[in-house]
Structure 1
Amino acid sequence: MKPTQSIQQKMRQFFVILLPIFVTQITLSAMTFFDTNMSGHSSSIDLAGVAIGSSLWVPIQVGLSGILMGITPIISQLIGSGHKDKVAYNVIQALWLSLLLALGVLALGGALLPSILHAMKLESNVQYIAFHFLTWLSIGIIPLFGYTVLRSLIDALGQTRISMIITLISLPINVGLNYLLIYGNFGFPKLGGIGAGVASGITYWCIFIIALLFVHKRQPFASLGIFRTFHKLSPRTWKEQLKIGIPIGWNQ
């Protein structure tokens, strides 16, 4: 973080950090927009199925991502108080927590999704698209939640431009995969709205891997040695992170 003295410097630094965060949030929302819009060009059934699937997924994604973003103030406080050596431990615990939440979503989704869609009294073909859109999207839930933790680390160090760049990269990846998998271009299978789910799942893996490489190899993250030591699960640390994260997720 760049030290500031005057009000003008503080405001300038505020907007330097804020604007990339704003762009990042808009980009994440744009993925859902393109999934729905491009599916609509396939058929009205695909449009309806993806729209239903997105309406179920987005609140869960936003809420749980907000909980995981609770690691941001923890990291900032550790660095500000001179306890840089404790950052890696807390980030690894947040990654363990993200894995637990992702597995919970997958388990509950597998158990409840058919009943939820059935209760919505959808046409059978729309229900089929919605179910398989979410099923394929779910392959990316674990990396998406992991990316949220790594993005929070990046933002906590004031490097919001990097998280913006990574998230911006996700958009052409997602749109390109949609083009191939929804419409069946260049020899790829024509999956309609289901293809949007496959594309999103793959995109989540891509941005997680990119963020992982940044955190592992690029300064100032590399000096933190996030993955240098293996840390066992610590429910006590999770509890501390949840105390901060749950109010954030609740208000998303």
Structure 2
Amino acid sequence: MYPTKTIKEKIKLLAIILYPILITQVGLYSMNFVDTIMSGRAGANDLAGVAIGSSLWVPVFTGLSGILLAITPIVSHYIGAKQEDRVSFSVLQGIYLSIALSVSILVVGYFILDPILNTMDLNNKVAQIAKDYLIGLSFGIIPLFIYSVLRSFFDALGETRTTMLVTLTSLPINVFFNYVLIFGKWGFPQLGGVGAGYASAITYWFILLIALLV
């Protein structure tokens, strides 16, 4: 980040910051897309179950993770005001909030997932795959939301390329675990579409660890 004076300089800086954020967003949602595509190779029921599970999960993640993006302007404000000593407190509060949101999703989901699926015109096999897929994915909700806070912190520092690289690193990890868990390769259990949920959860833990190392 650096001061800008002219419109041209401002547009250039905006572009430098913007395109990594765009790629990061696409990368995060690409994991659910990859889950659906690879599950389709396991069978029609697996494809339908994962597609339904993803369609239920994405709006929840999009809506609630948006709350955590408030860390970016808060931290930017403190840095601009030369109050760097308040940054760590805000980031920690964001992490506490991310954990609280994650636990809330898990608790609410425990009670409402079955009723939601029951209201859909699904055969039992598809409904069970959708439920088990979301259960598998739920093991990664806490690290994913904590990563959202750390990502917002990086973005506030102008390090949007860092978040882009971390997210892009997650894609091959997701594809690998999808492959071995959906199709039961290299000694892993063959879980079908359900394996995509566990693959995503594992990937979320990986990107959190990478972000913490950064």
Q: Shift of residue 185 of structure 1?
A: 1.4
Give the letter aligned to residue 54 of structure 1: S
- 2:139 aligns to what SS in structure 1? helix
TM-score, normalised by the number of residues in structure 2: 0.98
Residue in structure 2 matched with residue 21 of structure 1 by the alignment: 21
| Aligned Cα root-mean-square deviation (Å) | 0.8
Question: Aligned partners of 1:202, 1:64: CA distance in 2, in Å?
Answer: 21
* Higher deviation after alignment, 7-16 or 45-54: 7-16
Question: Aligned partners of 1:202, 1:117: CA distance in 2, in Å?
Answer: 25
Residue in structure 2 matched with residue 110 of structure 1 by the alignment: 110
Over the matched positions of the two proteins, sequence identity in percent amounts to: 55
Matched, 1:123 2:119: no
Residue in structure 2 matched with residue 143 of structure 1 by the alignment: 143
Question: Aligned partners of 2:8, 2:139: CA distance in 1, in Å?
Answer: 46
Residue in structure 1 matched with residue 6 of structure 2 by the alignment: 6
- 1:186 aligns to what SS in structure 2? coil
Q: Once the two structures are superposed, what CA deviation does each residue of 1:150-172 show, in whole Å capped at 9, x if it has no partner?
A: 00000011000000000001100
Q: Shift of residue 211 of structure 1?
A: 0.7
Q: Once the two structures are superposed, what CA deviation does each residue of 1:83-117 show, in whole Å capped at 9, x if it has no partner?
A: 11000001000100000000000000111111111
Matched, 1:88 2:94: no
Q: Shift of residue 72 of structure 1?
A: 0.8
Residue in structure 2 matched with residue 192 of structure 1 by the alignment: 192
Alignment of 1:54-69 (within 5 A): 54-69=54-69
Question: Aligned partners of 2:111, 2:211: CA distance in 1, in Å?
Answer: 31
Q: Shift of residue 121 of structure 1?
A: 3.1
Give the letter aligned to residue 150 of structure 1: L
Question: Aligned partners of 1:186, 1:102: CA distance in 2, in Å?
Answer: 32
The alignment of Structure 1 onto Structure 2 pairs a total of residues equal to 214
Residue in structure 2 matched with residue 177 of structure 1 by the alignment: 177
- 2:132 aligns to what SS in structure 1? helix
Residue in structure 2 matched with residue 53 of structure 1 by the alignment: 53
The gaps in structure 1 that reach 5 residues or longer are 215-252
The gaps in structure 2 that reach 5 residues or longer are none
Q: Shift of residue 77 of structure 1?
A: 0.5
Q: Shift of residue 119 of structure 1?
A: 1.6
Question: Aligned partners of 2:198, 2:96: CA distance in 1, in Å?
Answer: 25
Question: Aligned partners of 1:66, 1:16: CA distance in 2, in Å?
Answer: 22
Question: Aligned partners of 1:55, 1:198: CA distance in 2, in Å?
Answer: 17
